[in-house]
Each structure stands twice: as structure tokens, then as C-alpha cells.
């Protein structure tokens, strides 16, 4: 009698994994295309007829911070712990931006992300629990990662505060779904301040999280460097700093082996 029961559990587990993959892929597609506009906004970041930095910010948030997390679950359900943690940071960033920037319609986007994240978290719970039992995530982080995470907090928070202040002036330069891009730009900056801290706290998530945050910061700096007068852009010095910080952050998890040795 034990074998049928075990086979039944295995079947349900496989079906749950398939459902988790399908739902995560569907959510990812939504953020990459509609209503997230991630790939669409990134496609115009080199078109001078668009507010390039603001388009890059929205596109990076929807693709690298949100869409990539859902894709991670779709391709590897056992990594849902990492994905859900990053999605939580994204949701918190949107919620805080909606409040501080007084951008009411952004609340609905934050609520949508919160619901989707909760669904993925619930579906991926058994696989996430097994993965956590196999490889605990709480370890001592590599020193370069701790240094980079600490160094990024103040500059990115300062940038977020500036974007929120511009949003409160109610003089939109770029609007999507009725949402001023300055508010989402603030959410990007807040996420870039928080994600490295998450990576330092949970080293099992550091490789993926640092890659997303590092590439995002470097790309934002690159677009700002190429379009210095674009709304929401960083200065030349800060653009170079963002590129360097982002590249170093993406490489930081690889220092773990040397640190452990």
C-alpha cells in the first residue's frame, strides 16, 4: 500500500511543479510585455525621441527585477526562495514609491505584483522547503559584497528621494498606464539599494540577485552617460560610479570561494 501512496505524492508533486512553472511564465510574460512594458521600454532606451533614462528605469524594473524573478521560478521552481525574496523587495519598493511620490495609480501596480508574488510563493512552497533543507541560505557573505551593499545604500536612496520629489511636482515627462515614470524611477533606485543587502543576508540568493541589481545599475549608468540631459539622468560622475558599482556587484558573489578558503 505504500508504493501507490508514494507514486501519488510524486504525481501531485510533478503536477504542482508544472503548474508553478506555467503560472510563473505567464506572470513573467505580463511584466516583459503587458502590462509591465519591460522589453518595450528597454527597446527605446537608445532612441533620442524618448526620455531614455526614464524608459530605461521602467524597463529595468519590469525585466531584471520582476520579470527575471518570475522566469527563475519558471525554469527552476526550487529557486523560488530567491525569486520570492526579490519579488518582495520589488513590491515593497513600488509600495513605498507610491506613498512617498504620491502616485496613487502606482498602488494598483504594486498590488498586482503582491498578488502574483503570493501566488508563486504558495505554489512553490514544497519545492522551496526541500531546497532550503538541502542548502541553508544563511551564511557569512563575502566581504566585497558587504562593502558594495553598504556603499550603495546612501547614493541610491538619495537618487530615489530626488525622483520622488520630481514626481510630487506633478509635471510628468513620461507616463505609462497613467503612472508618472519618476515614481517608478524612485522604485528602481530603492530596489537597487535593498537588493544587495538581501544578497548579503542570504548568500544562496547572492548570485542571481547581484546579477540582476548589478546589470540594472550598470545599464542605468550607461544610458545616463549616453544621454546626460535626459530627464532622471545621473551626472557623468555618478553614471561612471553606477557602472563600476554594478559590474563589481555582479562579480562579488564569486569571491565566496576565496573567502571560504
With 0-12 / 13-18 / 19 or more C-beta atoms within 10 angstroms meaning exposed / middle / buried, residue 154 is: exposed
Q: Could you state, in order of their start, the residue ranges of all structural domains in the chain? A: 18-260
Confidence of residue 218 (pLDDT cuts 50, 70, 90): very high
At 22 the pLDDT is 96
Confidence of residue 15 (pLDDT cuts 50, 70, 90): confident
Q: Is 257 helix (H, G, I), strand (E, B) or coil?
A: helix
For every residue of 87-119, DSSP letters joined together read HHHHHHHHHHHHHHTT-TTHHHHHHHHHHHHHH
Q: What is the 8-class DSSP label of residue 234?
A: P
Contacts of 170 (CB under 8 A, 6+ apart): none
Q: Is 137 helix (H, G, I), strand (E, B) or coil?
A: coil
At 256 the pLDDT is 58
61-70, 199-208, 214-223, 228-237: least confident range: 199-208
Nearest residue to 231 via CA among 174, 148, 149: 174
Rounded-to-integer distance, Cα 160 and Cα 116, Å: 25
Contact 195, 245 (CB under 8 A): no
pTM: 0.91
Rounded-to-integer distance, Cα 61 and Cα 185, Å: 8
At 211 the pLDDT is 97
Q: C-alpha distances in angstroms, 199 versus 154, 230, 253?
A: 17, 31, 9
At 2 the pLDDT is 47
Rounded-to-integer distance, Cα 58 and Cα 45, Å: 10
Confidence of residue 78 (pLDDT cuts 50, 70, 90): confident
At 6 the pLDDT is 67
At 134 the pLDDT is 44
Dump pLDDT digits (tens) for 132-178: 444 455 567 889 999 999 999 999 999 999 999 999 999 999 999 99
For residue 69, the surrounding DSSP H or E stretch is helix 68-75
Dump pLDDT digits (tens) for 166-184: 999 999 999 999 999 999 9
> Percent of the chain having pLDDT more than 70?
89
> Percent of the chain having pLDDT more than 90?
79
Dump pLDDT digits (tens) for 22-65: 999 999 999 999 999 999 999 999 999 999 999 999 999 999 99
Q: C-alpha distances in angstroms, 196 versus 1, 82, 168, 244?
A: 49, 13, 28, 15
* pLDDT over threshold 50, residue 1: no
Amino acid at each position: 500500500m505504500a508504493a501507490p501512496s508514494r507514486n501519488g505524492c510524486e504525481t501531485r508533486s510533478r503536477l504542482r511543479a508544472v503548474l508553478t512553472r506555467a503560472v510563473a511564465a505567464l506572470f513573467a510574460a505580463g511584466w516583459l510585455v503587458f502590462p509591465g512594458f519591460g522589453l518595450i521600454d528597454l527597446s527605446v532606451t537608445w532612441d533620442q525621441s524618448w526620455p531614455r533614462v526614464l524608459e530605461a528605469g521602467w524597463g529595468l524594473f519590469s525585466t531584471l527585477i520582476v520579470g527575471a524573478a518570475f522566469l527563475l521560478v519558471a525554469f527552476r521552481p526550487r529557486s523560488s526562495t530567491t525569486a520570492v525574496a526579490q519579488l518582495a523587495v520589488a513590491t515593497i519598493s513600488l509600495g513605498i514609491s507610491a506613498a512617498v511620490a504620491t502616485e496613487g495609480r502606482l498602488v494598483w501596480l504594486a498590488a498586482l505584483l503582491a498578488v502574483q508574488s503570493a501566488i508563486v510563493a504558495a505554489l512553490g512552497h514544497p519545492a522551496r522547503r526541500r531546497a532550503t533543507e538541502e542548502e541553508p541560505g544563511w551564511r557569512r557573505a563575502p566581504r566585497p559584497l558587504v562593502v558594495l551593499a553598504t556603499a550603495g545604500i546612501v547614493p541610491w536612496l538619495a537618487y530615489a528621494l530626488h525622483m520622488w520629489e520630481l514626481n510630487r511636482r506633478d509635471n510628468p515627462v513620461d507616463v505609462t498606464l497613467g503612472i508618472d515614470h519618476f515614481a517608478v524611477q524612485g522604485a528602481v533606485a530603492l530596489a537597487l539599494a535593498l537588493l544587495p543587502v538581501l544578497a548579503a543576508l542570504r548568500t544562496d540568493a547572492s548570485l542571481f540577485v547581484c546579477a540582476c541589481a548589478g546589470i540594472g545599475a550598470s545599464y542605468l549608468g550607461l544610458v545616463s552617460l549616453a544621454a546626460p540631459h535626459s530627464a532622471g539622468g545621473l551626472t557623468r560622475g555618478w553614471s561612471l560610479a553606477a557602472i563600476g558599482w554594478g559590474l563589481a556587484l555582479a562579480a562579488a558573489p564569486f569571491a565566496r570561494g576565496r573567502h571560504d578558503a
